[in-house]
Amino acid sequence: MIYPAFIICAILVVGGLMFVFVLPSMIHVLLESGAELPFTTRILIFLTEFIQNYWPFIITGALGLGIGSQVYIRTTAGRAIWDQIKLRLPVINKVLRNIYMDRFSRNLSTLVASSIPIVTALRTVADIVGNTVYQGIILDAAEEVEIGKSISDVFAAHPEIPVIVTQMVKVGEQTGTLHEILAKLADFFDKEVSNAVGTLTALMEPIIMIILGIAVAAMVAGILLPIYNLASVQ
């Protein structure tokens, strides 16, 4: 995922430089010509003038929004809201869910195999799973197990827990092989995460290229073609 992120950042930087240093001189030529400008050109002129006139506010606003968001997410309420949002994001939510299930299965398997009491193990795993939604579910499971209920019964009441996890945990509880079942689940989710990340990375590259192509086409249609037509008339 680092490569697509690098490409996106590079495109944003180059695009910003184009709007600040390259396009203004071209737009000046078009405006001085007095010719009627196409809709695409007028949009580019508006964006260029907006960025030139308000770039300090744009940068300050972006930094303020980024820093403010990070500070808010570090609060208890902010983190809870952010964790819920992450689980609703298209495509990414499935990857994140698998990551949380991998952490849960791997760590609980290790603790159970080390003869840590199941209630203690659940509470420990709840603190390291990485999402407050799943943390709450696991803590609920710890409380229910403490009064004699099973983990699988609690998980069955929460749609955030994949059905395969509920079913496999139930088998592990009934057969006394919970740590082995959890280890297999962890391996399964680890592979799922690796495959999903690879697929997302492979999909992002052509999408980025398509967006870049559209941006270049808009630039050509909005600026270069009018200048070419103006030169041809003259």
Residues in the chain: 234
User: Between 116 and 212, whose confidence is greater?
Assistant: 116
Instruction: Quote the tokens at residue 146.
Output: 């403490």
Q: Does domain 92-195 have CATH number 1.10.10.10?
A: no
Supply the pLDDT for residue 224: 73
Give the DSSP letter of residue 65: H
Do 107 and 116 contact (CB within 8 A), yes or no?
A: no
pLDDT digits (tens, 9 = 90+) for 143-162: 999 999 999 999 999 999 99
Do 112 and 186 contact (CB within 8 A), yes or no?
A: no
pLDDT digits (tens, 9 = 90+) for 42-101: 888 888 888 888 888 988 999 999 999 999 999 999 999 999 999 999 888 999 999 999
Supply the pLDDT for residue 219: 75
The whole-angstrom separation of Cα 129 and Cα 31 is: 58
- The sign one gets for the Cα dihedral 46, 48, 53, 56 is positive
For residue 206, count CB atoms less than 10 angstroms from its CB and return exposed for 0-12, middle for 13-18, buried for 19 or more.
Answer: exposed
The whole-angstrom separation of Cα 227 and Cα 225 is: 5
| Extents of the domains making up the chain | 2-80+219-233, 92-195
For the cut 70, the answer to whether the pLDDT of residue 118 exceeds it is: yes
Give the DSSP letter of residue 22: I
pLDDT class for 234, splitting at 50, 70, 90? low
pTM of the model: 0.78
